A and B are shown apart, each in its own frame.
Chain A
Amino acid sequence: MTRNLCALVVAALALAGVATATTTGTPGVSSSTITIGSSGPLTGEAAAAAGVLKGADAYFKYVNSRGGVNGRKIEFKYLDDAYDPAQTVQNVRELIQQDNVFALFSVVGTNSNLAIRDFVNAAGVPQVFSAAGATTFGRDYAKYPWTIGYLPPYAEEGALYAKQILATSAKTAKIAVLYQSDDYGKDLLSGFRRGLGSKARSLIVQTVGYDPTTSDVQSQVAQLKASGANTLMIFAFGKFAIQSFVYANKLGWKPQIYVNDVASASSIMALDPAKTAEGSISILWGKDPATPKFKGDAGVALAGKIIKRYVPGGNPSDGFLVAGMAEAFSFVDALKAAGKNLTRKGLMTAVTHMNESSNPFLIPGVKVHTTPTFRYPISAVQLQRWHQGHWVPFGGVVSTKP
C-alpha cells in the first residue's frame, strides 16, 4: 500500500514536471505578442513626465500597426505610481508576478528605479532604458547586470553647466543652487561641483535642498536670493521648477538661470513668467517639437502623426511624448537585434551592444551607443537657451561620457 502511494506521488510529480515543461519558454513572450511593463507618475506633482510613457505606448502601437517586431506585437502595460517609489515597488511586483512581463521598460524616476533595482535583478527581469539619469544606472552594471538607463547621466549634465559657467562668467559668477534632496538632485549637484573643480568653493555661495513631498520652495528661493547670487541653478522637478521661476520673479530677482534637462520641457517653461525665464540655459538630446529649429523635421513630423493617431488629446508639441518615442525606437531596435528566439538574456545582450544612428527622435549628432562595459545609451547633448518663448539650441553637440 505504502509502495503504491509512493508510486502515485512519483507519477504525480512527473506529470507536474511535464505540465510545467510545456509552458516553459520566455515569460511574457508568445508566438504573437511581447508583453512589457512600466510604472511612472501618471498623477501627482511629476505627472508631466507621464508623457514619456504615453509617447512610448503610441510608438509601440504605430510599430504594431506595421506588423510588430519579428512578427510579434508589443503589449505595453504601464501603471501609475504618482512618483512614489513605494507604489512603484507594488506596481512592479504586480507586473512581474501577475502579468508575467518579459521586461520592464522606461520606468520613470531615479528613486523609483532605485527602489525596484534589487528586486528585479534578483528576479532576473530586464530593467531597460529607465527614464532616469542617475549615474549609478550606467556605472554599477557589475552588481546590477539587468539594469540599464537611457538619459544622459545627471552628474555629467551638472558638469556641463559648470563648464559653461567657467567659459562664460568665471570671474563674475556667484552661484546659488536649488536641488531636490534625493539621488536625482544630489547627482546633478555633485557633478556640478566636480565640474567647477577648485573654483567650486569660491563660486558657489549657497546651496539649498528641498524635500519632494513639500508644498512649495518659496522659502528656499528667498534664501538663495539673499545669498547675493547672480546665477541660479535649478536642479528641481515638475512644479517645483515652475515655482522657482515664479518665486524668483515675485522676489524681483533676475539671475542667470540654468535649469536641468528633465525640468525644462517647453510645456513647463511656457508656464513661467517670461521676464525670469528669458535667457535660461538647459540641454537637449531629443527633438523638442516646440523648438522652431525642428519645424518641418521628418522625425518631428512622424511624432506629430503618431501622437495625432495614438495619443487621444495629446499635445503634438509635448517634448515628453517625443522623448518617450525616442526610447521606444531604441527598444524596438534592441528587440529586432535580439532576434526571433527572444530571451531575457538576449535582450540584455542587444541593449548592451547598441549602435543606433537612425533614431529620428534624437537631435542630429546624438547616437545611441552602448557596450557591455559602457552603459550610457545617450552620452552626447547640446546646450540650449530660452528666448522669447522657446528653446534655441546653440554650440555643437558635446559629449557627456563619464
Chain B
Amino acid sequence: MTNFLQQVVSGLASGGIYGSLALAIVIIHRSTGVINFAQGEMATLSAFVCWTLLDHGWSFWPAFAVTLVLSFAGGVAIQQVLIRPLQGSPLLGIVILTIGLLIAINGLTTWIWGGAAKQFAGPFSTSPINVDGVAFSKQDIGVIAVSVVVVVLVGLLFTRTKAGLGLRAAAVNPVEARLVGVRVAAMLAVGWGLAAALGAVAGVMAAPSLFLEPNMMQTVLLYSFAAAVLGGMDSPVGAVVGGLLLGVLLNLTGTYVHWIGGELRLATALAVILGVLLVRPAGLFGRTAVRRV
C-alpha cells in the first residue's frame, strides 16, 4: 500500500511537469491554432537562460521573473520573424517550421552551454518530507502548486479579460475578428509570447529534478502531447489534469503491470494518445467542435 501511494505521489510530481508543458502547448493551440513541436526546446532554452542568471549570483525569483519576460519577448520575436510570413499558408507548413525550430534551438543550446547535464538549484527544498512511509518534497508540491496557479491565471485571462476574448477570437475566426476590430496580428504574437512564458515556467520547474541539458524536455514533450490530448487540446484545465493523470497512470502501469515495467513508459503514453483519439477525440475537458450545416 505504501508503494502504491508512493507511486501516486511520484506520479503527481512528474505529472506536474508534463502538465505545465502541456499547458503551453494548449495555449498556443488555442490562441493561434498551431501545434508547436518546438515548445519543449523553447522551455529548455528558457531554463538555460534562468540557469545563467542564477550562475551569475542572482537569487531565484528575480531570475525567474526576468526569464519569463525574456521568454515572452522571445516567443513574440519567433512569431514575428518566422511564423508571420507563413500566416495564411496551410497549417502544415507552420507545423513543419516548428519542427525545424526544435532542431535549431536544440543546436543553439548545445552550442552555447554544451551537452553535459547541469545542476539547477530550484526555489523549493528537495529534502524529504515523510508522511506515513510516503516520501515527497516541497519541490514536488511546489511544481504542482505553480501549475495550478498558472492555470487559474490563464483561465482568468481567457474568460475575464478583453485581451483573452481577443486571443480566442483571433484563433477561431481571424477574418471576422478583424472585422469587429480585434488586432489579429498582435493577438497571434501575444499568443506565442504567452506560450513561451508558460514553457519557461515548465522548463524552470522541471530542471531541478530532471537536470538541465539540451535534450531535457524532448521526452517530456511527448508525455505533454499525451497529457494535452487526454485533457483536451483546447482546455488549459484539461492540460494540467491530463498531465497529473498521465504521470500517475504511467507510474502505476510501470509498477504493477509486469510486462510494461520501467521500459515501456513512452509506449504507454502513446497508447493513451491513440486511445483518447479513438474513444473521445475532444479529450476529457475539451468541447467537441460542432458545425451547423
Binding site for B on A (CB under 8 A): 41-45, 47-48, 50, 82, 181, 208-211, 213-220, 222-223, 225-226, 238-239, 242-243, 246, 249-253, 271, 273
Contact of A214 (CB < 8 Å), options: B2, B213, B266: B266
Chain B's nearest CB lies how many Å from the CB of A70? 35
A219 touches B209 (CB 8 A): no
Given known A216-B210, A218-B10, contact A226–B2 (CB-CB < 8 A): yes
In the complex, which residue of chain B has the Cβ closest to the Cβ of A219?
Answer: B251
Contact of A219 with B250 in the complex, beta carbons under 8 Å = yes
Q: How far is the CB of B255 from chain A (nearest CB, A)?
A: 5
Residues of B within 8 A of A219 (CB): 7, 10-11, 14, 250-251, 254-255, 262, 265
Is A215 touching B219 in the complex (CB atoms < 8 A)? yes
Assembled-state Cα–Cα distance A217/B135 (Å)? 16
Min CB gap B136→A, angstroms: 8
Q: Which of B7, B116, B135, B255 has the most CB of A within 10 A?
A: B116
- How many B residues touch the partner, as a band? 35 or more
Q: Mark B206-237, 1 if CB is under 8 A from A, else 0.
A: 00011101111001100100000000000000
5 contacts between A and B (CB under 8 A): A47-B117, A50-B116, A210-B262, A219-B14, A271-B119
How far apart sit A219 and B255, CA to CA, in the bound complex (Å)?
8
Within 8 A of A (CB), among B104-139: 110, 114-117, 119, 126-128, 130, 135-137, 139
Complexed CA–CA distance, A252 and B251 (Å): 19
**Contact present for A243 and B211 (CB under 8 Å):** yes
B87 adjacent to chain A (CB < 8 Å): no
Does the CB pair A47–B213 fall under 8 Å? yes
Minimum-distance CB pairs A-B, first 3:
A47-B115, A226-B3, A43-B115
Asked if residues A208 and B261 are in contact (CB atoms below 8 Å), the reply is: yes
Q: Measured between C-beta atoms, what is the minimum distance from B60 to chain A in Å?
A: 18
- A48 in complex: contacting residue of B116, B119, B214, CB < 8 Å: B116
B187 within 8 A of A: no
B262 touches A209 (CB 8 A): yes
Q: Which residues of B contact A250 (CB under 8 A)?
A: 126-128, 135-137, 139
Within the complex, the shortest CB–CB distance from B291 to chain A, in Å, comes to 38
Closest A residue to B220 by CB, please name it: A215
Given contacts A209-B262, A211-B264, A239-B117, 20 further A-B contacts (CB under 8 A): A41-B115, A42-B115, A44-B215, A47-B117, A209-B263, A214-B265, A215-B219, A219-B14, A222-B6, A222-B10, A238-B117, A239-B211, A242-B117, A242-B211, A243-B209, A246-B126, A251-B128, A252-B128, A252-B135, A271-B211
Write the B242-268 contact mask toward A (1 if CB under 8 angstroms, else 0).
Answer: 000000001100110000011111100
Q: Flag if B219 contacts A213 (CB, 8 Å).
A: yes
Residues of A close to B117: CB separation below 8 A: 45, 47-48, 238-239, 242, 271
The CA-CA distance from A217 to B263 in the complex, in Å, is 10
Interchain CB contact under 8 A, B265 and A209: no
Q: A223 touching B213 by the CB < 8 A rule?
A: no
CB-based contact B115/A222 at 8 Å: no
Question: Is B240 engaged at the interface, CB distance under 8 Å to the other chain?
Answer: no
Q: What are the residues of chain B within 8 A of A220 when measuring CB–CB?
A: 254, 262
Identity of the chain B residue whose Cβ is nearest the Cβ of A216 in the assembled complex:
B210
CA–CA, A176 and B130, complex, Å: 21
- Measured between alpha carbons, how far is A196 from B136 in the docked complex, in Å? 33
Please, how many angstroms separate the alpha-carbon atoms of A208 and B251 in the complex?
A: 13
- Are the C-beta atoms of A45 and B215 separated by less than 8 Å? yes
Kindly list chain B residues whose C-beta atoms are within 8 Å of the C-beta of A213.
219, 266
Which residues between 257 and 286 of chain B lie within 8 Å of chain A, taking CB atoms? Answer: 261-266
Q: Take A250-B126, A252-B128 as given contacts and tell me if A223 and B255 are in contact as well, using a CB distance cutoff of 8 Å.
A: yes
In contact, B128 and A249 (Cβ under 8 angstroms) = yes
| Chain A, Cβ-Cβ closest to B212 | A239
Residues of A within 8 A of B211 (CB): 239, 242-243, 271
Q: For the complex, what is the distance from the CA of A271 to the CA of B119, rounded to whole Å?
A: 7
Q: Is B13 in the interface zone, CB < 8 Å from A?
A: yes
Residues from chain B with Cβ under 8 Å of A246 in the complex: 126, 209
Q: Which of A44, A50, A217 contacts B262 (CB 8 A)?
A: A217
Name the residue of chain B whose CB is nearest to the CB of A275: B127
Per the bound structure, the CA–CA distance linking A225 and B137 in Å amounts to: 16
Residues of B within 8 A of A218 (CB): 10, 13-14, 209
- Collect the chain A residues with CB atoms within 8 Å of residue B2's CB: 226
CA of A278 to CA of B114, assembled, Å: 28
Instruction: Evaluate whether A209 and B261 lie within 8 angstroms (CB atoms) in the complex, with A44-B215, A218-B10 already known.
Output: yes
- Which residues of chain B are within 8 angstroms of A271 by Cβ–Cβ distance? 117, 119, 211
Residue contact A44 to B261, C-beta cutoff 8 Å: no
With most chain B CB atoms within 10 A of its CB, the pick from A209, A219, A246 is: A219
A210 to B266, CA, bound (A): 11
Give the Cβ gap from B220 to chain A, nearest Cβ, in Å: 5
Q: How far is the CA of A181 from the CA of B259 in the complex (A)?
A: 13
Chain B residues whose C-beta falls within 8 Å of the C-beta of A225 in the assembled complex: 6, 135
